Amino acid sequence: MSNNLAPETINNAVAAFCLAGSPRSVSPHGNGHINDTFLVICDDAGAEKKYILQRMNHSIFKNPQALMENVTGVTSYLQEMIKEKNGDPDRETLSVIKTKTGDNYFEDSLHNFWRVFPFIDNTFCLEQVENARDFYDCAVAFGNFQRQLSAYPAETLHETIPLFHYTPSRFQNFKKAVADDLQGRAASVQAEIDFALAREADTHALTDLLEKGELPLRVTHNDTKLNNILFDNDTRKALCIIDLDTVMPGLSLYDFGDSIRTGANTGAEDETDLSKISLDLSLFETFTEGFLAGCAGSLTPLEIKLLPMGAKLMTYECGIRFLTDHLEGDVYFKIHRENHNLDRARTQFALVADMEKKWDEMAAIVERLSR
Check pLDDT > 80 for residue 58: yes
Q: Which CATH number belongs to the domain containing residue 343 in this structure? A: 3.90.1200.10
The pLDDT value recorded for residue 34 is: 82
- Provide the 3-class DSSP secondary structure of residue 118: strand
User: Which pLDDT band holds residue 128 (cuts at 50, 70, 90)?
Assistant: confident
- Residue 145 sits in the same domain as residue 292: yes
- Residue 180 sits in the same domain as residue 253: yes
Query: What are 218's strand-pairing partners?
Result: 250
The pLDDT value recorded for residue 129 is: 80
d(CA 233, CA 141): 16
What does R_g of the chain's alpha carbons equal in angstroms?
21
- Residue 289 sits in the same domain as residue 142: yes
Which of these ranges, 10-14, 58-62, 94-98, has the smallest mean pLDDT?
58-62
Instruction: State pTM to two decimals.
Output: 0.94
The pLDDT value recorded for residue 3 is: 53
- Residue 108 sits in the same domain as residue 141: no
Check pLDDT > 80 for residue 1: no
Question: What is the domain count for the chain?
Answer: 2
Written as one letter, the residue type at 202 is: D
- Residue 210 sits in the same domain as residue 334: yes
In a domain, 83, yes or no: no
Average pLDDT value for residue range 24-29: 95
- Provide the 3-class DSSP secondary structure of residue 21: coil
Check pLDDT > 60 for residue 349: yes
In a domain, 79, yes or no: no
C-alpha 341, offset from chain centre: 19
d(CA 359, CA 353): 10
How many residues are given for the chain?
371
Each residue of 226-285: pLDDT tens digit? Answer: 899 999 999 999 999 999 999 999 999 999 999 999 999 999 999 999 999 999 999 999
Each residue of 153-164: pLDDT tens digit? Answer: 999 999 999 999
CB 203, CB 239: distance < 8 Å: no
d(CA 303, CA 354): 22
Each residue of 193-218: pLDDT tens digit? Answer: 999 999 999 999 999 999 999 999 99
- Residue 171 sits in the same domain as residue 37: no
Average pLDDT value for residue range 341-356: 98
In a domain, 93, yes or no: no
In a domain, 253, yes or no: yes
Check pLDDT > 50 for residue 165: yes
Domain around 198: 132-369
The pLDDT value recorded for residue 260 is: 97
